[in-house]
Structure 1
Amino acid sequence: MTWLLAVLAGFYGAVAGWLLPRVRYRLAVEEGQFGLGGVGGGAAVTGALCAGLALATGARPELAVWLLAAPVTVLLAEVDRSVRRLPDLLTLPLALAVTGLLGVVALIPGAAGSWPGALLGAAALGGWYLLLFLIHPRGMGFGDVKLALGLGGALGWYGWAWLIFGGFAGLLAGAAFGLWLLLVRRAGRGTTLAFGPFMIAGAWSGVLLGAWSMRG
C-alpha cells in the first residue's frame, strides 16, 4: 500500500513539477528573467520529493499538505536560483496554507503531528531568519524570512527536534556552499547567494526524517 502511494505521489509530483512553472511563470517573476529550460529537471525533483514524502509519511492525513506544498517549494527554489528572488505571491500563501491546513489535519484521526507545534515552528524559524536579516541585511533577503514561516510550520508539526535539525541543515548547507564558492574564486564577499534552495532542502530533510520517526 505504501509503495503504491509512493508511485502515485511520484507521478503527481512529476506532473505538477512539469506544469506549475508554466502556470505560475508570469505571476512569479518578471518576463524575460526566468526561462523554462529547467522544467524537466523540476519535474524529476518534484516527483522524487513527493514519492519520498509518501514513503516516509504513509497514509497519514498530513501527507496531503506535504504534497500540496512540495511543488510550490521546488518552484520557489528554481526562481530564487535563477533571479535571486522569492516572490510574495508564493511565500506568503505557502505559509498560510501550511499552517492553516495542518490545523484542519490535526482534527483528523491518524494525524501524527501537533498543530500548536506547527504554529510555534513557523514563529520560531521566521523569527530566527528575521534576526539574521536585521543583523546582516545584505547577506539575507526578507524573502527568506517569509519563506521560513512556511518551512517552520512544516518542521514544527513533528516537533522541536526536527525544527532545529531542518533549520540548521539549511543554514549549514548554504554556508558551506558559499564558502566553497569563495575558495574556488567563483564568488566574492559581496556576492549575493540564493539561500532559498538550501532552506527548502534542509526543511524537507527534516520533514522526511520527522515523518519517518512517527511510523512507529
Structure 2
Amino acid sequence: MVIPLSGFSAGVLGSRVLRVLPRGVDVRWLWCALPTAVLWSVASAASPPRWLPVPLALAWLGVLLVAADLRCRRLPDALTLSAHPVLGVALWLAGADLERAVIGCLVFSGLHAAVHLLAPAALGGGDVKLSGALGAVLGSVSWLALPVGAALASAITLVVALWRPPGGLPHGPGAVGATWLTSVWGPW
C-alpha cells in the first residue's frame, strides 16, 4: 500500500511542478496522480528490488512528460534536460552498467538527432533532448532493448496517432511508454 500511495503523492506533486515550470502546463492533478500510482504499483510488483529506482523515476518523469505532450504538444526543457541526471542517478543506484548506459544514450540521441536534422517536422527538439536519457535506460537493460524500445515506441505512437486529432503527432508518449515497459519487463 505504501508504493501506490507514494506514487499518488508523487503524481500530485508532479502536477504542481508542471504548473510552475517556465511556460507551465495546466494539467489536473488526478491525471498525474492516478497514472503514477498505477505505474509505481506495477513496477514494484514486476521489477527486482535493486532495479526499482529506474522504473519509478521513469514513471514519474514519464507521466509528467506525456501529460505535457498530449496537452500542449511539447516536452518542457525543464523535464527533458533534468531527465538525464535523474535517470542517471537512478541507474547508478540500481547498479546498472553505466558504460552501456552512456553508449545507449549516445546511440539513441544520435539517431533521434539525425531524424530531426533530416526531417525537422517529423520529430521535435524536445523528443531529441529526451532521447538520450531514454537511450541510457534502454542500453542499461540490454543491447536488444534499444531496437525493441524503438519499435515499441513506433507502435505506441501509431496508436496515439489514431486516437489524437490531426495537428501534430506527439512522440513523447510512445518513447516514454516503450522505455518504461522495456525497463519493467525487459531482459535481465
**TM-score (normalised: structure 2):** 0.89
Deviation at 1:17, TM superposition (A): 0.7
Letter in structure 2 aligned against 1:35:
D
Corresponding residue for residue 180 of structure 2: 204
Corresponding residue for residue 82 of structure 1: 71
Corresponding residue for residue 193 of structure 1: 169
Q: Secondary structure of 1:160's partner?
A: coil
Deviation at 1:200, TM superposition (A): 0.8
1:71 partnered with 2:88: no
* Distance (whole Å) between structure 1 residues aligned to residue 163 and residue 67 of structure 2: 19
Corresponding residue for residue 54 of structure 1: 44
Correspondences of 1:145-164 after superposition (within 5 Å): 145-164=128-147
Aligned CA RMSD, in angstroms, stands at 2.0
* Bigger-Rg structure (1/2): 1
* Distance (whole Å) between structure 2 residues aligned to residue 161 and residue 46 of structure 1: 27
Any unmatched runs of 5+ in structure 2? none
* Distance (whole Å) between structure 2 residues aligned to residue 94 and residue 15 of structure 1: 19
* Distance (whole Å) between structure 1 residues aligned to residue 168 and residue 18 of structure 2: 24
* Distance change >3 Å, CA 142–CA 181, structure 1 → 2: same
Corresponding residue for residue 121 of structure 2: 138
Deviation at 1:66, TM superposition (A): 2.9
Contact 1:174–1:195 under 8 Å retained in 2: yes
Corresponding residue for residue 35 of structure 1: 26
For residues 100-127 of structure 1, what are the alpha-carbon distances to aligned partners after superposition, in whole Å with 9 as ceiling and x for unaligned?
4423542xxxxxx422111111111111
* Distance (whole Å) between structure 2 residues aligned to residue 97 and residue 181 of structure 1: 31
Deviation at 1:133, TM superposition (A): 0.7
Any unmatched runs of 5+ in structure 1? 1-6, 107-112
Identity %: 28
